[in-house]
Amino acid sequence: MENQEQSGKRLVLVPGPFHGHLTPMLQLATVLKSKDFSITIAHTQFNNPDSSAHPDFTFLRIPDGLSEEEVRNPDLIAIMLRLNVNCESSFRECLTQGPDHMEPVDKICCIIYDALVYFSETVARDLKIPSIAMHTSNAATNLVRPILLQLKAQGHIPVPDSMLQTLVPLHQPIRFKDLPLSNFGSLDYFLEAVVLMHKIRSSSAIIFNTIHCLEESPLVRLHQRYQVPIFPIGPLHKFAPTSDVRLLQEDTDCITWLDKQTHNSVIYVSLGSIAKMNQDQLLEMAWGLANSKEPFLWVIRPGSIPDLEWIESMNEEFKECVRDRGCIVKWAPQKKVLAHDAVGGFWSHCGWNSTLESICEGVPMICQPCFGDQKVNARYLTHEWRVGLELEGEIERGTVERAVRTLMKEKEGEEMRQRVLDLKRKVDVSIDDGGSSCHYLSEVVELLRSF
């Protein structure tokens, strides 16, 4: 752990070890640092963040006991269950028997932990340190996840084909096909993880990276379910715009390329930090974009296509076809991209961070959810907020071409753009002084100072 000058009450924040979980936790840490708290980021060795990007924080590495074979395991749920078993004792030891420059346990005023790493709450309880859980997915997802076990017991999970389009009772607009199920490994492991993640145990409160104006009804229902305060303090990236995770190297040259494009002309394509696609899907996406005749900025993550290093399977005909209006990069500075005047649409996997970032910049979306909460987010984008167009079924170039043209050129796309701009204005009000997110953030700070 790095030594540094320390001041104010100390908070220990424990992020989940994936890009979409690290990002909001480090954003929260940045916000709380600005409120005069001292910050320790306690993180697993697996997918550890870049400490050099946050010189104002102390970083505490928790030995996680994962073997190389386990780290290579594509079953992320199995990895998370193993981490929670392995890290409980090592985290406790880090806090109680750490280096000389680690503050005594009685100087830690609170442990704020991602619900994925629930071992943190057990340690906090044992050491009599207050704790707060943080959910990095939206309120609607957290409302429906606890009923998954019940639906399985009723024979509705795995979902029969005949029920895919059926609305889930009491959870409209979510259909059974939109349930936040995992694509990784065993269903039983996943449902076990869901139960463990959603137990409040002794935590004093729950933080959500969401906004009251977006999810008023789900938040009301969550208030009724849990007997602790709930604080929707999102979008955290607007309160901490400079916070950076750096798990992947960003290609900033794409901003220079965007500078040469016209207003609202570019469709930005990125399916996130985890999702994979096969070579057929890659080519269908490629030719759909090419045939749409619209300019595009496309993020293709190295390793996201099995058996390929990057885009070597794309032929010269495609590259020549899109030479003047296509830009393909390995990773992009997404918040800057979405804020760019040239970007008029976002083809996304609909992770919650990406969803918030798109709404906050007034950019309508093409929705291609892959797993988990992405399916819930996509359904809300398309049927609750009506600012997205969903790609359903197999990815096929004709479908892609039509979706891109609809979003970028047709009246339906323009109506979505106006609706998302209306949402953007509501979000702007929420984060201004006196807005709901600003109010809840002040309440979080007040609670932390009371410990």
Q: Residue 230: pLDDT above 70?
A: yes
In the structure encoding, which two tokens stand for residue 276, read together? Answer: 């994979």
Q: Which distant-in-sequence residues (6+ apart) come within 8 Å of 389 by Cβ?
A: 364, 365, 366, 367, 382, 403, 406, 407, 412, 413, 416
Reported as a pLDDT band with limits 50, 70 and 90, residue 1 is very low
Return the pLDDT at 6: 44
Return the pLDDT at 384: 97
Return the pLDDT at 2: 42
**CATH homologous superfamily of domain 253-409?**
Glycogen Phosphorylase B; (3.40.50.2000)
CA 329 – CA 310 distance, rounded (Å)? 10
Return the pLDDT at 103: 62
Return the pLDDT at 269: 96
Reported as a pLDDT band with limits 50, 70 and 90, residue 158 is very high
Write the pLDDT tens digit of every residue in 64-122: 999 888 888 778 888 899 999 999 999 999 999 865 445 677 789 999 999 999 999 99
CA distances to 68, 71, 341 from 17, rounded to whole Å, are: 16, 12, 33
More confident residue, 192 or 316: 192
Mean pLDDT of all residues in 336-342: 97
Q: Residue 244: pLDDT above 70?
A: no
Q: Residue 137: pLDDT above 60?
A: yes
| pLDDT, averaged across the chain | 91
Reported as a pLDDT band with limits 50, 70 and 90, residue 245 is low
Q: Which distant-in-sequence residues (6+ apart) come within 8 Å of 227 by Cβ?
A: 200
Mean pLDDT of all residues in 180-207: 88
CA 114 – CA 22 distance, rounded (Å)? 9
More confident residue, 146 or 267: 267
Return the pLDDT at 89: 95
CATH pick for 10-245+431-450 out of 3.40.50.10190, 3.40.50.10490, 3.40.50.2000, 3.30.1330.10: 3.40.50.2000
- Domains of the chain, residue spans: 10-245+431-450, 253-409
Do the domains 10-245+431-450 and 253-409 sit in the same CATH topology, yes or no? Answer: yes
Return the pLDDT at 319: 79
Q: Residue 358: pLDDT above 60?
A: yes
Mean pLDDT of all residues in 46-74: 88
C-alpha closest to that of 229 among 11, 438, 440:
440
Mean pLDDT of all residues in 338-343: 98
Q: Residue 425: pLDDT above 50?
A: yes
Q: Residue 336: pLDDT above 80?
A: yes
Q: Is the pTM of this model over 0.85?
A: yes
